[in-house]
Homo-oligomer: A and B are copies of this chain.
Amino acid sequence: MGVLVVGSVALDSVKTPFGEVQDALGGSATFFSVAAAYFTDVSVVAVVGADFPERHVEFLKSRGIDTSGLVVEEGETFRWAGVYGYDLNDRDTIYTKLNVFENFLPRIPDRLAASEFVFLANIDPELQLSVLDQVSSPKLVACDTMNFWIESKREVLSRLLKKVDVMIMNDSECRELAGEPNLIKAARMVLDMGPKTIVVKKGEHGALMADRESFFSAPAFPCEDVFDPTGAGDSFAGGFMGQLAKTKDVSAANIRRAVIFGTVMASFCVEQFSVDGMASLDQADMEDRFRALKDLSNFETETKGN
């Protein structure tokens, strides 16, 4: 059955020191889907406006993504515009126009109700909960969120956390949710809220994964040419869930590998605008970076003679 993702499909206008794009294909479900489709079948549930360019739908279909759950409504598509400074860690949002996304009520088509792997991209936690009511018995549910929901809907988020297997969030969100600056403690505290596993995305510093037994520290891919960080987190989630769904293996060892595949997809994402960096990869491209990440973080425990 592959992966079901529920999130946003949007039109992004992004300016970085290296260039700019207007109304480019964006949104959490988009980045996730394009990344995950390299691993497994992907079905997307989202909403766009009547203005959404048909060529974007065609592109998603060309990647093998099931867009039958992409609802078109009267009105305009969700639009986001942002500007990144020279230090790409900082960005300013110019505008967020929710448009048709404002009244998005995700409806999971019957034939997707038995999805085994479900990713709840960053949307209102009430909607994330409503998605879980519509799927029968998923093997693994992963979830993203953001500071806005942590601050405005903490109680709903708490209920959601009890129902997800893997929480994927960035480091500042993890610290904020836990109310604890020490990231190791904060990750443990989020685990105490329900999920079996937490994956903390740290951008250029890689990712930290924790379950009740152990921590895993994954390096970032050493990208010298970060062109546009937009979508990196959702591309990470796409590689992560794609690997899990492809192998149907949710062991701790495979979750580590999934974190690395997430890292690989994020590294391709940031090298170009929109989903361009992930538009035409082949299996060897991904395996090369997977192995490079192994070499990058490997050290021998014993001296092999001198």
A181 with B260, Cβ < 8 A, contacts A205-B205, A215-B296, A300-B253 known: no
A239 at the interface (CB under 8 A from B): no
The residues of B that contact A64 with a CB separation of less than 8 Å are none
A217 to B224, CA, bound (A): 15
Report A176-200 CB contacts with B as 1/0, cut-off 8 Å: 0000011111001000000000000
A300 with B181, Cβ < 8 A, contacts A205-B202, A217-B220 known: no
A75 at the interface (CB under 8 A from B): no
Residue among A214, A220, A294, A298 with the most chain B CB within 10 A? A298
A270 to B18, CA, bound (A): 40
Contact of A249 among B219, B253, B260, B306 (CB under 8 A): B306
Chain B nearest Cβ from A209, distance in angstroms:
10
Chain B nearest Cβ from A91, distance in angstroms:
13
A234 to B306, CA, bound (A): 27
A112 to B246, CA, bound (A): 61
A89 to B175, CA, bound (A): 13
Closest to A219 in B: B217
A38 at the interface (CB under 8 A from B): no
The residues of B that contact A259 with a CB separation of less than 8 Å are 299
| CB atoms of A299 and B181 under 8 A apart | no
Chain B nearest Cβ from A192, distance in angstroms:
13
A103 at the interface (CB under 8 A from B): no
A20 at the interface (CB under 8 A from B): no
A155 at the interface (CB under 8 A from B): no
Contact of A224 among B184, B225, B251, B304 (CB under 8 A): B184
A102 at the interface (CB under 8 A from B): no
Chain B nearest Cβ from A36, distance in angstroms:
18
A306 to B88, CA, bound (A): 40
The residues of B that contact A88 with a CB separation of less than 8 Å are 181-182
A297 at the interface (CB under 8 A from B): yes
A184 to B220, CA, bound (A): 11
A208 to B297, CA, bound (A): 10
A15 at the interface (CB under 8 A from B): no
A88 to B204, CA, bound (A): 20
A247 at the interface (CB under 8 A from B): yes
| CB atoms of B295 and A214 under 8 A apart | yes
A220 to B215, CA, bound (A): 11
Counting from the closest, the 4 A-B pairs by CB-CB distance are A217-B219, A205-B205, A256-B299, A87-B181
